[in-house]
Structure 1
Amino acid sequence: MAGLSGGGGGWGGYDDDDWGLSAEQLDQMERDAIRQLAERKASASAASTAPIPASPLGATSPLPSRATVPAAAVSSPLGGNHPATRASLEARFGKVEALSPSRNAVNNSQGSSPKISVHLFLHSSGMIAARFPYSQLLVDAFRKIPKASWNAKERVWMFPPSSLAIVEEVPRSVPGLTVEVHKLDPLVQRALAAALRSKDLRGLYDRIPPHLESKLMPFQREGIRFVLQHGGRALIADEMGLGKTLQAIAVASCLRDAWPVLVISPSSLRLHWASAIQSWLNIPVEDILVVLPHTGGSHKAGFRVAYSNSKGDFHLDGVFNVISYDVVPKIQSTLLDLDFKIVIADESHFMKNGQAKRTVASLPVLQKAQYVVLLSGTPALSRPIELFTQIQALYPTVYKSVSEYGNIYCKGGFFGLYQGASNHEELHNLMKATVMIRRLKKDVLSQLPVKRRQQVFLDLSEKDVKNVRALFIELETLKVKIESSDSKEMIDSLRFAYQNIVNKIYTDSAVAKIPAVLDFLGTMIEEGCKFLIFAHHQPMIDAIEKHLLVSI
């Protein structure tokens, strides 16, 4: 005979093993007991306050006596009927002689079955979670599903996404129960199914060059493996400064059989990408092609250059081809004809506006590629509509309808505008489970060096440096004249003019750099990171101040 003590809210010195029950079952017992005691107390209170008229001898009481009440009329907090222990149950939660394994089975003598709701949702771990009121029959059924596990902390059953169809079907086949299953949204189901179909390429990780792999930090290795695990189509959304560029280059090195590679980046970062590729992969500079919008000027740091506005045939024949988002609309047909198998899109939040020309032009190129790596430090989870085009680039067959996505994650919308946010937790879990890996500096601080120094070379447009180049030509002309002149007065005059031009170059070069610097600052602002700016030239300082006052 086992007993439950009502004193002190405890279990009378017995633990879970003494009862042979799980914590889940004990919780349900306690809840039922407390509820039934409260009902009895309320009933007793009502009875004590009701007037009872005097009755003649032999009259029957309006309240049935204990002797006339069938034992089955009062159920114990354990569920089921226990007439032998009825008195003790009323006194102290109850004492039980035997715990029936089917105590949650409903007495169907009257032809009715209990109705239980099972809610399925996507857990933060990427697993399918099921939450439902306790039922031993359901527990027994779910326990038989392969790889099922009980999450005691959150009190939910967990299943791998591959078991979703079984999880939906099993509750309906439990005899004696009427189960209503609240399924995952069809969009979530499609996304999970697409992720499961992705080919796991983690076996290619060893193709990373040893000199590159040895420089990787543990979280960067994890990011590379995540992309490979998801078939080479994923979004690396690490905070700025955690080496997204390096991770993307390492992924490309694993997929060498699919080269050549197309890299799309903001215009100010084209040279940065070319330099990083050459440095980390030891690729000859002539195998790296940088596409510029205008003709003119010299080669960029030794890399080959092509111009999108050049007449005649346009060739993208580099092993790595680096272009900007602004160039894509001009050469989209060429990019589609070349059929790049690997595309890296840096700062992919540049495509957040689905109506922008660069987004409309870039999406088909990304969707056609076999492997796509998106990089963004600002995945826009707070404004889900800005994320849609990016995940549409990765899984076009899943995210086909902006209205379907908007109605779920953007609070619906009026006239096709989806500016709100809803079901934020589910969206975040879905992204992590299918396409996105994101780490913040605070999460990987122990893996980071004390300080890192990095040079970012900004790409200046030919339009911005045109005047400076003209001054350099004039400077060379004066230098020749000085060397060939015999007159001291003429030499002094030429040297004075020479110094004036040097000063003008010093000033005008700062002005020429302003557009590229402001473009890069815009990227920093969108990343949401903290930064300090040091500058020397007054025109540069003024331009930066004006830009920040408007942008922040």
Structure 2
Amino acid sequence: DFAERYCAGNRFGWGGCQNADELNAVISRLVMVRRLKKDVLTQLPPKQREQVFLQLPKSDALKQVRDVQEKLKAIKEKQKNEGGDGERTMEEKRLMNSLYLFSARAKLVPVAHYLGELLDAGGSEKFLFFAHHTELLDAAEAAVKQRGVPSIRIDGSTPTSVRGGLVNRFQEDERVRVAVLSIKAAGMGITLTAASTVIFGELTWTPGDIVQAEDRAHRIGQVSSVNVQFLCAKNTVDDIMWASVQNKLENLGQVLDGTSGDHLELHEGKGGGSSKWRGGGVSR
């Protein structure tokens, strides 16, 4: 049985990975021909990533984050005492979804502040802002509009018939500096190479969604290095999601390429490639 052999199945489901080298050998021999972007598009400029760490102000959302974390901790302790296998229960998954939402809400103010500082610094550089939750997209859009900067927005509510026009406007109109984008709705199938900076207000559980979103800018037609920034906050769901995404990329690399896997590798510049927001601004 495939699931038992390769998916580390247990009583909670089939969410693991085992015997990855064997699976890679089987699919490479029988069904898969794989070409990597880095080997095909050799002239594409480099892509660099950095984490930007936000300091969260006190808020009801932050309190909710802490409350959910305590509940998750209690479940883990109970599992440990009862000799559980460490797999997530349905209650844990429900709480994790709540933690994801509350973490986004706790980041609304610092994310808006960060984007505002970028715009207040002047210049003409365009950037893409990606998020999953509507509230975070709304906060980003409000920060942009508050400064009178022309922008576009594409999310799940944007009619397919107008998306092409929005993309063309961003690509061709120098005044349009910002694209506020849903990771799911705008992370595939569009070209936004007029921007060379990509900012994520939050992560998703699926690493492919993140890489695809990055590549709206990092694709044929891009002439500049692409700088990708992940706006993260310590002691929120970001800690869990970052580790989860890296682990999934590791597993995918083992299965598809027979290697240790690709990661969201960070560029280590001055200060280790990270930043902190301290109420009044960003220090690098």
Question: TM-score when scaled to structure 2?
Answer: 0.42
Question: TM-score when scaled to structure 1?
Answer: 0.24
* Higher normalized contact order (CA 8 Å, seq sep 6+, divided by chain length): 2
